[in-house]
């Protein structure tokens, strides 16, 4: 789990990114998360220095092992979809022709104007990072 300060900083950075996309009239983007476990060798770690209260194991006792350390990569993808006449018609058609009149249904579609898309994107990120409950 990500700590609160890091989650706040990450959501703030994504707020700036999504504000830029909104100002360019773009919507329908996503956050891509990649995780790569990397093996890191811990060698020549003297247990007596690492754990001062540990019993003395004798001279020259060292710990050497391989541990998996995750590295995380994030990026916003699919950022080139403009809110244009085509997207407005798509939204209208889905609402009228497919009967998606209910507010929660029509607000959940991908074809929403950039302000609403950005707001929904940030709320879901804050929820995923444990900053708010839905």
- DSSP assignment of 31-50, as one string? EEEEEEEEEEEEEEEEHHHH
**132 shares a domain with 71:** no
CB distance 74 to 31 below 8 Å: yes
For position 105, what pLDDT does the model report?
A: 65
Residue 130's pLDDT is 87
CA-based angle 100:92:82, to the nearest 5? 120
Q: Which of 68, 81, 77, 78 is nearest to 33 (CA)?
A: 77
Q: Verify that 68 and 23 share a domain, yes or no.
A: no
Residue 89 shares a structural domain with residue 134: yes
Domain total for the chain?
2
Predicted confidence at residue 20, as pLDDT, reads: 95
Average pLDDT by consecutive 10-residue portion of the chain (134 residues)?
Answer: 88 95 93 88 55 59 67 89 90 82 70 91 91 75
- Does residue 10 share a domain with residue 47? no
Residues 52 and 94 reside in one and the same domain: no
């Amino acid at each position: 789990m990500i700590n609160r300060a890091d989650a706040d900083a990450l959501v703030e950075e994504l707020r700036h990114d999504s504000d830029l996309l909104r100002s360019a009239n773009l919507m329908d983007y996503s956050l891509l998360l990649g995780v790569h476990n990397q093996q890191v060798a811990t060698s020549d770690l003297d247990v007596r220095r690492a754990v001062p209260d540990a019993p003395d194991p004798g001279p020259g006792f060292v710990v050497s092992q391989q541990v998996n350390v995750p590295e995380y990569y994030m990026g916003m993808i699919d950022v080139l979809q403009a809110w244009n006449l085509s997207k407005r018609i798509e939204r209208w058609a889905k609402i009228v022709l497919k009967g998606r009149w209910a507010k929660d249904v029509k607000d959940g579609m991908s074809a929403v104007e950039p302000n609403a898309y950005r707001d929904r994107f940030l709320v879901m990120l804050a929820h995923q990072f444990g900053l708010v409950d839905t």
